[in-house]
Amino acid sequence: MRRVGTGEWRGWREATEEALYGPCGFYRGPEGPAGHFRTSVHASPLFAAAVARLLCRVDEALGRPAELAFVDMAAGRGELVAAVLAALPAEVASRARGYAVERADRPAGLDHRVEWLTRPPEGITGLLFANEWLDNVPVEVAEVDVTGVPRLVLVRDDDGAERLGDPVAGAEAEWLRRWWPLAPEEAPFPGTSSEEAPFEGAPFEGARAEIGLPRDTAWASAVASLDRGLAVAVDYAHFAAARPPYGTLTGFREGRETVPVPDGSCDITAHVALDACALPGGRVVTQRAALRALGVSGARPALTLATTDPAAYVRALAGAGEAAELTATGGLGDFGWLLQPVGIANPMIDGPLADAPPADGLLVDVPDHEEQ
């Protein structure tokens, strides 16, 4: 999969785009994402079953339309969309239409009901689900120099070496000022009080940020493909009150975290500022709260089942273990779910999560703001 590096210096956004999606890019490989890292989709079939239940709730909120769409963004090899279609009740399945949106080629043997596309279909009614998509939308990286000026970080594609480039300007500078300010006088240094800030009254040299503007734009475009329904983005996230001081850019290869080198040999990812992506009416909850509201529980089965039906007890115990992984604190359960209704009431927030406790349910009540 490794391509020959040119040694050229360029921004992280351009370098990542080619490294992930170019002719020899990481996501063009035959093994797909499952060959390198474990997502909720690969962790347990309980995840797809929960998404199928969410699709049924969207169907009900829509008044059971004649055609119900399920759009799987960044579909990998189509594992989620195929599993969701298979998990639907017969009456809903008869009206459902699956779409897989992915740049790689369609895999052999995929369910014939799934349409394979490179961009989301327009004018659909249903559920658009983006599981770990936005973290792979390439972004520029900014770093504060010794004089306190945020500059674009340039990277060399053959070895991942970095140097600073031009000052951040234009729309990217505006995005930083609004969503990820790097100067303590604009906002307290993440994780510290203003008195503890490393350089009082000046930007912190070496502080970094991923400029999420392309993700905001990509999400707005995906949501715009819905005529009516719900769009959901699921990703590791951070929020304005606690941005990571050195950013989150990293790489993954064969299940292990590694130094991000944009040569096509590894995944390159960064956590998502979901509060910046959210459009008016969007809400963010934890995956833990969302999955529990959709019937995924890590509770152990009753011990009495072990004596009355040992095989069922073993199956229930295995399911409880998988549910615990999907909802674990410090793991997959900490993912953010950005819920964006279009033309309907939010079938999660206005229903099963209406009374969720803040500590375990609502992460951020996203204020209305202008679309990016």
Per-residue model confidence as pLDDT tens digits over 219-241: 999 999 999 999 999 999 999 98
Pairing of strands 140-144, 114-117: unpaired
CB atoms within 10 A of CB 312: 12
Q: What is the pLDDT of residue 45?
A: 86
pLDDT at 329: 85
Which phi and psi angles does 192 have, rounded to 5°?
-135, 165
What pLDDT was estimated at residue 104? 87
Please state the length of the chain. 372
In the prediction, which pLDDT does 39 show? 75
What pLDDT is attached to residue 205? 87
d(CA 190, CA 52) in angstroms, rounded, equals: 38
Mean pLDDT by 10 residues, the chain (372 residues): 67 96 83 61 85 97 97 94 96 97 92 95 97 96 95 94 97 96 56 41 79 98 98 96 94 89 93 96 93 81 60 58 77 91 89 52 49 40
- The distance from CA 318 to its chain's CA centroid, rounded to whole angstroms, is 27
Instruction: Give residue 101's pLDDT.
Output: 97
Kindly state the tokens that stand for 265. Answer: 């040999």
What sign has the CA pseudo-torsion 81, 83, 86, 91?
A: negative
Q: Would you say 141 and 211 are in contact if contact means Cβ atoms under 8 Å apart? A: yes
Within its chain, how far is the Cα of 315 from the centroid? Answer: 30
Inter-residue contact 283 to 365 (CB < 8 Å): yes
Among candidate residues 324, 304, 326, the one with its CA nearest the CA of residue 313? 304
Residue 209 tokens read as 């940020």
pLDDT tens digits, 179-191: 999 865 444 434 4
- Confirm if 248 and 210 have CB atoms less than 8 A apart: yes
Q: What is the pLDDT of residue 279?
A: 95
Give bridge partners of residue 339 from the DSSP assignment: 232, 283
Which residues contact residue 177 at a Cβ distance below 8 angstroms, ignoring those fewer than 6 apart? Answer: 186
Q: What's the CA gap between 167 and 35, in Å, rounded?
A: 38
| Residue in the structure block whose two tokens are 């993700």 | 215
